[in-house]
Amino acid sequence: MVSSTLSVDPMELVAAEFGDTQALFQLYTPTDRELAASLVHRAQVAGYKGIVVTLDSWVTGWRPRDLTTANVPQTARPLPKQLHSDPVFRASLARPPEVDPQAAVLRFMQIFGNPLTWDDLSWLRSMTSLP
């Protein structure tokens, strides 16, 4: 099973339901390295068995069907609780996302998507023992 950075529920709640299922955490690497480190650390502590690094989404695709139905998860309101629950993301906001959801979405849009280099992948590997 793969659980995404854009999951609605926090990774810890998802992990509590794994049972015998081995799960990987899919990281949409933000431009904020501290937030990326926090997400990776949370995944390791929660019991995920590996990190899936997403490399193809720093510019989202033009998907007419999604646009027609306003299905753009990166700008979803409310913002996925995955980010609401992250202490680094919360610290980057002037007010909690529960109080100012629009500011939280705007902050997410500022940091969403990071075209990675080999050096970035080395940095990510240095943060965790997970494959």
Where does the chain show beta strands of DSSP type E?
A: 2-4, 24-27, 50-53
The model's confidence at residue 130, banded by pLDDT at 50, 70 and 90, is very high
CA separation for the pair 58, 66 (Å, rounded): 17
- 47: nearest Cα among 74, 76, 80, 23: 23
Where is pLDDT greater, at 73 or 101? 101
pTM value > 0.85:
no
More confident residue, 104 or 39: 39
